[in-house]
Amino acid sequence: MIYFQLFLSFLMIGFTSFGGMSMIPLINDQMLSHGWMTSQEVADIVAIAEMTPGPLGLNCATFAGARTAGMLGSLSASLGVLVPSLTLTMLAAVFLRKFKENRLMEEALYGIRPVCIGMIFAVIVQQSQTNYAGTLLGFVSWQALVTGAFSLVVLLRFKWTVPKTIILAAALGLVLGQIG
């Protein structure tokens, strides 16, 4: 029964929040109202979920479900929080397929492309300022540029996998960081 309750709780959270930090009050409310966790335990779960890769809501659901009811609880909560996104994505796919030949839809999607490219470019610029700006007078960090260039070469020229490239970049960043 607890597995179904976890599923329903996280299903409701998935449908009524917008992901990320907006899920935390709802998760806290559900955990406290069912008596599954204390406020401190929820805070600990959120802290762990923020440190691990992946979406915050899914990580919280996984950890909260595991803490509450073990592996099956983890699976139940994770499925509950994923069903809303999956459902909305499938509905969007059905509508996009149905209206694929619609001239208005084609024009709308054509207009969205430059916006998406602009948003990606804005993220690149913002992240570059954060990751490549040096600490001295705003100069570009040569260590970050070397690491980025080397990573690009091994990805494109030598066809390394992304995980191997990330590990190499981390090691190179540590070594070059000690030099500079």
Task: Find out whether 67 and 30 touch, Cβ atoms under 8 Å.
Answer: no
CA distances from 111 to 101, 114, 126, 162 (A): 16, 6, 24, 32
Lowest mean pLDDT among 21-25, 86-90, 131-135, 157-161: 131-135
Q: Which residue has the higher pLDDT, 128 or 144?
A: 144
Q: 140 forms bridges with which residues in the sheet?
A: 133
Longest dimension (CA), the chain: 60
- Rounded Cα distance, 128 and 146, in Å: 13
Q: Which residue has the higher pLDDT, 139 or 173?
A: 173
pLDDT tens per residue across span 106-140 = 888 889 999 989 888 888 777 776 666 655 445 67
pLDDT tens per residue across span 9-67 = 999 999 998 778 888 999 999 999 999 999 999 999 998 998 888 898 999 999 999 99
**What's the pLDDT at 131?**
63
pTM, rounded to two decimals = 0.58
Say which amino acid occupies 153.
Answer: V
Q: Which of 14-18, 93-97, 143-147, 161-165 has the highest mean pLDDT?
A: 161-165
- The DSSP secondary structure of 111-158, one letter per residue, reads HHHHHHHHHHHHHHHHHHHHHHB-SSTT-B-HHHHHHHHHHHHHHHTS
Task: Find out whether 16 and 26 touch, Cβ atoms under 8 Å.
Answer: yes
**What's the pLDDT at 20?**
81
CA distances from 128 to 1, 2, 79, 110, 121 (A): 49, 46, 36, 28, 10
Domain-by-domain residue ranges, the chain?
2-98, 104-179
**What's the pLDDT at 36?**
95
**What's the pLDDT at 108?**
85
